Structures are given as C-alpha cells and as structure tokens.
Structure 1
Amino acid sequence: MVQWRDSKVNRNGVELAVRTWSENKSPSVVLVHGYPDANHVWEKVAERLSQNFKVVAYDVRGAGQSSVPKGRAAYKLRELRNDLHAVLDATCPGEKVHLVAHDWGSIQTWESVTDPGAEERIASYTTLSGPCLDHVGQWMKRNLKDNPAAVLNQLTHSWYIMAFQLPVLAPTLWKAGLAKAWPNVLKRTEKLVSESSPTQLKDGVHGIELYRANMLPCLLKPRERFTRVPVQLIVARQDNYVRPAMLEDLPNWTDQLWRRELDTGHWGPLLQHPEITARWIREFIQHIEGAPASGPLKRAKVNPDQKRGPDSGKVVVITGAGSGIGRETALAFGRRGALVLCTDINTDAAARTANTIVAEGGEALSRKCDVSNTRSMETLAAYVEKELGAPDIVVNNAGIGLSGSLLDTSVQDWQQVLGVNLWGVIHGSRLFARQMVDQAKAGHIVNVASAAAFLPSRMLPAYATSKSAVLMFSECLRAELADQGIGVSAICPGIIDTGIAGSTRFVGVDNEEQQRRREHANSLYQRRAFTPDRVAAAIISAVENNRAVVPVSPEAWGMQWLGRFTPSLARNLAQVEITP
C-alpha cells in the first residue's frame, strides 16, 4: 500500500482537507469527488494511479474533513472553481496537472476546464458521470424541439434534483436515518458493497447546497462553454442519474475527445471497477504526456465526421467471415457503423469481406484464424484485446458440413467436425467472454448452430451432434453470463444458400459419387433460395432483443416444433435415409 500525507489548504477562511500519494512522482493527477461523497471514494483508484503518478484528492467544501462555509452563495461554481485552484497552487505549484472528476466533482470542475486559457494549467481532463451544466442546458434546449422523449427520460432519472430544491425534505431525510442507511442504499440500487463514512451525514446535508446554488441558474440560462483541454469521457452505461444520451453533444464543446464506456452504475467506475478506471486514466495521461496511444485508446478517439449508425463505436468479431452467413453478417454490422474484424481460415476471403465493408464507407479489419486450433484462437483473442479492446459482439459462425453414417465416419472426420463446429464456438465464447467480463462490457455472443440441432438424423451423426452441442452449450453459457449482463444467442438456420453444400464431405462414397451428391445438394439449396443475408438480419435482431434460440427459415421452425412436441415422430423420421 502506498502511503499518503494529509494536509490542509485554507482559502478565504474555508479549510480544505487534502490527501496526497507519491509526492516524489510526476506528473500530478488531481481527483475531485461528487455528492454525497468525500475524497475517500477515490481510494481504490488513487492507490493504483499512485504507482505511476503523484495523486492529490481533496474534500470539497462542506464535505469530509473540510470546513462548512455559511450561505448558499458559498457553493456557487466560481467558489468551487477557486477552491480547486487553491489546492493546485498549494500541492502542484507551477505544474500542469491532469484532472479527474466524478459526479458533482465533474460538474464543478467543468467550470475550470472551460475557462479561457484552461489548457495552460490543466493538461488533461477525465470526466465521469458529471456533465457541464451549461452543456446540459444547451442539450435540453435543442432536444425539447428535436427529441423531447430524451429530455423527459433524463428528467425522470433526475427527479431528486427538484426534491433537493425543497427547503426541509432532503436534509430531514439525511438526519432521519438516510446517512446510516447509505451503504444499504448503494447495495440495493448499485449492487455495491461499501462502508459507512463517519462524515456521511455532513456530506449529505451540506452538499444539497450544490444543487440549490447552481442547478436552475445554469440550466435555464446556459452559456456556451468550449475547451481546448483534451477530454476523456468515461460513460457508465447503467447510470441511473446521468443518462448516456445527455452526453452526446460533448463533441460540440471540445475538438479533442476520447469516449470510453463501462457497463456499470453511477459509482461503479470508482468502487466496482477501479482497476479498469485507473488503467484508462493512466493510458490517457501517458498518451497526453507523449506516449503512443494503445489500440483501445486510439479506438476511443471521437471523430465527429465519422459515419454514424446504431452500432457506431462497437467492435464486432466474426469467424468464418469470408463467405456465406459470416460474410453477410459482417457486411450488415459494417453498414450499422461497427468496426468489424473479419476472420477466416481463408486469408483472402476474409480480406475481401473487410475490403467490401471499407468500400461501402465502414470500418473493417481482417485476420486469418483456424477456430479449431487453440493457439490460433488465443492469438486472435490477444490481438483483439491489445488493439481493439474487448469486443461488443462476437459471432462464432465458422462451420463445416459432413454427411454419412457413423460407421463410415472416421475418428479424423469426427475430430475435424467437432474441432470447427463445436470447439471453435467454445474457444470464441471462452476467450471473448473473459475479456467482456474483465472489461465490464455487457456484450453479446452469437453462436451459429443449425436446424439439425433440433432433430436426429441417421445420415448426419457428426454434424447434428456438433450443432446440438452448440445449442446446449449456448443455453448453458447464457445462464452463466446473465449476471454479467452478457447475452448469448444460438442461431439455427435451415436450408440456406451459402455454398456450404458444395464443400460438404460425404463419407463412405467414392470421389465421383461425392461430387454428384455435392452438385445435387448445391442445386437443392439454390432452388430453396433462402439467402444468407436473411440469417444476418436474424442475428442482428437476436442481439438487439437478446433472444436465446433463433430458428431461421420455415423448415427450421418446423424441425424445432417436431423435436419439442412430437419426439417419437422425429425419431421415426431420423431413420429415413435422405441423401442428395
């Protein structure tokens, strides 16, 4: 544990309690807390940052060990701004600092960040769950006309702000027991385990003046507040108080913006995921200080001119993207604004898919990968984590076909089919789910099974077994990852014209017969004319609606129905030898 030093900074009779870690290091990072907190809320993050930087955190006026000023005017943004600069002058004299703030700490420090010439004193700014009130006022004015539903949604989540304007209610609640119950409130609403602060009553009661002194004046008469300070925005996507939509206009107020997201609640970045938060702050500061940007940080840089879509900013990894369902799914996500990583055992095919996405104005990369090979998949996963960060969506699509009786199917045949169809899904799910969990990303995993997963077949023992296993594996994984907010879908296409029939192997026959069967099967699939773009649409719908099992095509629905409601008929049909 890194030791800290406590001190006091006096400004106009108000004493500000300051805690400093690693005083001999540089550059300096200053942390500002929100409401109803004190600087202890930063401890987990500060401990991690102090391995690299000097870290300063202080109790804002009226909170923690700082003194309580008299009068509502003492909590105006300009007073809070001047407190910050008094702390900077006392702890980091003559030094450009990196500022990090959460909740009301962020709201109040926007006042400094948007002051003219702020870039001369503040090297960078990381903001968490606390927008500039002037920016919010501008956003509300615009959206009252263009998107009133978004404003209404935010007002619904900000009900407490109006409650805080009442003269008696909020302070009385804190004094009546809310201060003592606060850890339980966080546990129920945020699923966080925290300890009660000895100054919680003080923090709750006096901090109300922050809202009363600033909210209505800033929101009703918002100023235009630009900044030249590089800004990193960390968005808590499950924030019950600051909805992500309210932060959409930030590119209008700075030309240097990085945006990163965590699937967590309001206090989650500080208390639940301090390792991730500290790493992102560290990467950002080191980049601003001159270090090359990491792959994920490069991806986080906001380009206002970039083509936008419903999946903008998302990373999608697709196996078997060189042809068929994988290719069409890659194109579909590319058109929705996602960065698509197209992988395939066929290097050229993967590159062609990626090039098509780029030619259409999207973002795409390609990589060769053998999904049946553990090392190959682990190499792919390591590349994704380093260069792109945890993916938002993974489509384990790569698959091969095999037809023929069990007695004609060799051990090598079984190993190949299970290696691609089942182990490829296991590898992709295991490796990328780990990244999603570790990076607090509520992503989605799509595993492409088959309608053959619903019914037995005497001529598809290896293929049907592999796809049935994918279906059951997906159901198990869905149950396991539900608590992490990660969705899992099994897609079960029927007869889809993908070209797979032309590459399916038919065991137990000579080459001439195998070629005849391939041609006949391919002709059947082409006559069926159910194209892979329709499966791609079903995959997107499954992700959007978090559907568990998705049959695609009428025959797939029929096979699911037969297997579920008339299993004896399904077993009888399985005995029929159906070959092309």
Structure 2
Amino acid sequence: MSLPRTGRRVLVSGASRGLGRALAHAFATNGDKVAVHYGSRAEEATATLAALPGDGHTLVGGDLSTPDGAAIVASQAAERLGGIDVLVNNAAVNTPHPPATTAYEEWVAAWRQHVDVNLLATAHLSHLAAHRMIEQGTGGRIVNIGSRGAFRGEPDHPAYGATKAAVHALGQSLAVALAPHGIGVASLAPGFFTTERVAHRLSGAEGEAIRTQSPYGRVASAEEVAAAVLWLASPESEWSAGTVLDFNGASYLRT
C-alpha cells in the first residue's frame, strides 16, 4: 500500500489559531481527516475544528513540552483518527529574550521553554508518528515548520533561531533514517507571514520595513505557507525528502 492523496489521517500540532488553523483547513479542504492539537487555547481550537470542511476531524489537547504529554497527544490522535499518515510539527514558542537586557534566570527559562517545545516536542512527536506509520505499512509524511531565522539570526529571540536550526537538522537526519519505510520528512523555513498574533506589527514604520525585506513588497499569508506544507506532505513530494524549503519571498537568500 502507498500513501493516498486524500482521506489521510493528519495530526497538526499547535493548530488552535494562526498558521496551525490555516494548515488544518488546507488538509481538511484536501479531503483529509485532521486532528487539531492545542496546548492551552481550547476555545480557539474548538472554533478551528468547527470551521473545518468535511467530517471525521477531532480535537486533541495536551502539553507537548513533556515526553509524556507528547505521547498522550500522539496516542489520542491515532486512536481517534484510526492511525496517522501525516504529521505537521507546527507547535512552537517565540518569546523575546535579548541577551544584553534579559536577566539570567529569565534567559535560562526562555531557553528551556524553547528547547522543550520547539525541538524536543518535534523530536518526540516525529518518533511516535513514525512508529505508527511503520506499523501501518503505508508510508507517510512528516513536515516540520522551521524558520528563516535559523539562517539569518534572531537577535532578540536567539533560542528561537537556534531551535529552528536544530529542527532543520533533525528533519534531515530523520529523512535519511525513515526513507526505507516510505516516510518522507522535510522542513519548511518561512519568512514573515501574517497571522492575528503579529498583524499589529504590519502597521506603521515597522510594517513597511518588514514588507520591504522582500522584493515583492509584501509578506506571505498563512494560507500560502499552508499550501506549501500541503505539497510537502503529498505523495508526489517523496523526492523532496531531506529538504529545507526556503519560503520567504526572496527576503533572505542563503548560499
């Protein structure tokens, strides 16, 4: 058996709002069944679930910052969907901690939080989902949401940039390890894109500076990012395994 184009069982972490909501909607529109994961925003996640087209979708709550929490989320998603064919590691934290002005205790706490959620939760969910896919014998896809910041630096959010770079490296290691099982692993490295959380930054001088980073003179939409993820999760994307796909409107070109 091989990975189908539609009707897949998809777990999207951090899907209560923003990009996660757009991801859930893109897969549901494609005809897939989606497990909408949330950490603490149950009301927003419920609204995401209610707006999804099609049926068979489910809500899964859980704290991904602990190994046990990740195991519960993966188990519940697999049980309610009947398995897992696609995992999208979207859950992340990104709180400011500029090194020159952040107290040491706050610095340590910020790094711990970023490593636990951005990196370790991605690693744990990937391991759990991969074992499900191997048992099912139908292959699968794992797509990690990385960041342009892994390459260009994040001076006020160094732990975010560092953990996203680690996520990219993790994806490449998993791509090699899991390819013999028909599981394709890839990462997307988006630049700035608009969600309700960051919409306020797009007004005034800051917004103009952000838009001019790209020669297109704009930022991406969450729906554009979700469309790229949908392709990376498709059966046709197998040969992209191991890639880190830049998705930043030519706002940062790495060599």
Aligned equivalent of 1:539, options 226, 229, 254:
229
Q: Is the 8 A contact 2:12 2:20 kept in 1?
A: yes
Q: Secondary structure at the match of 2:152?
A: coil
User: Could you tell me the percent identity over the aligned residues?
Assistant: 29
Structure 2 counterpart of 1:534, one-letter code: E
Deviation of 1:381 after TM superposition, in Å, equals 1.8
Match of residue 35 from structure 2:
341
Greater RCO (CA < 8 Å, at least 6 residues apart):
2
Distance across 2 between alignment mates of 1:386 and 1:341: 10
Q: Is the 8 A contact 2:65 2:120 kept in 1?
A: yes
Q: Is the 8 A contact 1:404 1:459 kept in 2?
A: yes
Number of paired residues? 235
Deviation of 1:529 after TM superposition, in Å, equals 4.3
After TM superposition, the structure 1 = structure 2 runs for residues 4-153 of structure 1, keeping only pairs within 5 Å, are: none
After TM superposition, the structure 1 = structure 2 runs for residues 390-539 of structure 1, keeping only pairs within 5 Å, are: 390-407=83-100, 408=102, 410-501=107-198, 519=200, 521-523=201-203, 524=206, 528-539=218-229
Residue 364 to residue 531, structure 1, CA distance change in 2 (3 Å): same
Distance across 1 between alignment mates of 2:156 and 2:184: 33
Deviation of 1:443 after TM superposition, in Å, equals 0.4
Distance across 1 between alignment mates of 2:166 and 2:202: 26
Distance across 2 between alignment mates of 1:450 and 1:320: 16
Match of residue 203 from structure 1:
none
Q: Secondary structure at the match of 1:554?
A: coil
Give the TM-score normalised by the residue count of structure 2. Answer: 0.84
Match of residue 386 from structure 1:
79
Distance across 2 between alignment mates of 1:500 and 1:477: 31
Distance across 1 between alignment mates of 2:136 and 2:18: 31
1:358-405 deviation per Cα after TM superposition (whole angstroms, max 9, x unaligned): xx3343111212221222211122223333333110101011213332
Deviation of 1:497 after TM superposition, in Å, equals 0.5
1:507-530 deviation per Cα after TM superposition (whole angstroms, max 9, x unaligned): xxxxxxxxxxxx5x3534696442
Match of residue 219 from structure 1:
none
- Let me know the Cα RMSD of the aligned residues: 2.2
Distance across 1 between alignment mates of 2:202 and 2:110: 21
Deviation of 1:424 after TM superposition, in Å, equals 1.8
Aligned equivalent of 1:316, options 2, 10, 17:
10
Distance across 2 between alignment mates of 1:343 and 1:457: 27
Deviation of 1:420 after TM superposition, in Å, equals 1.5
1:553 and 2:248 aligned: yes
Q: Secondary structure at the match of 1:490?
A: strand
Distance across 1 between alignment mates of 2:60 and 2:163: 25
Structure 1 counterpart of 2:230, one-letter code: I
Give the TM-score normalised by the residue count of structure 1. Answer: 0.38
Aligned equivalent of 1:332, options 26, 29, 43:
26
Structure 1 counterpart of 2:29, one-letter code: R
1:234-292 deviation per Cα after TM superposition (whole angstroms, max 9, x unaligned): xx34xxxxxxxxxxxxxxxxxxxxxxxxx7xxxxxxxxxxxxxxxxxxxxxxxxxxxxx
Structure 2 counterpart of 1:462, one-letter code: A
Q: Secondary structure at the match of 2:189?
A: strand
Structure 1 counterpart of 2:160, one-letter code: Y
Match of residue 370 from structure 1:
63
1:467-517 deviation per Cα after TM superposition (whole angstroms, max 9, x unaligned): 101111111111110111100010111001023437xxxxxxxxxxxxxxx
Deviation of 1:458 after TM superposition, in Å, equals 3.1
Q: Secondary structure at the match of 1:363?
A: coil
Structure 1 counterpart of 2:249, one-letter code: P
Deviation of 1:464 after TM superposition, in Å, equals 0.4
Q: Is the 8 A contact 2:33 2:81 kept in 1?
A: no
User: Rg: which structure is higher?
Assistant: 1
For structure 1, which runs of at least 5 residues remain unmatched after alignment?
A: 1-235, 238-262, 264-308, 503-518, 565-580
Deviation of 1:439 after TM superposition, in Å, equals 2.1
Distance across 2 between alignment mates of 1:500 and 1:491: 20
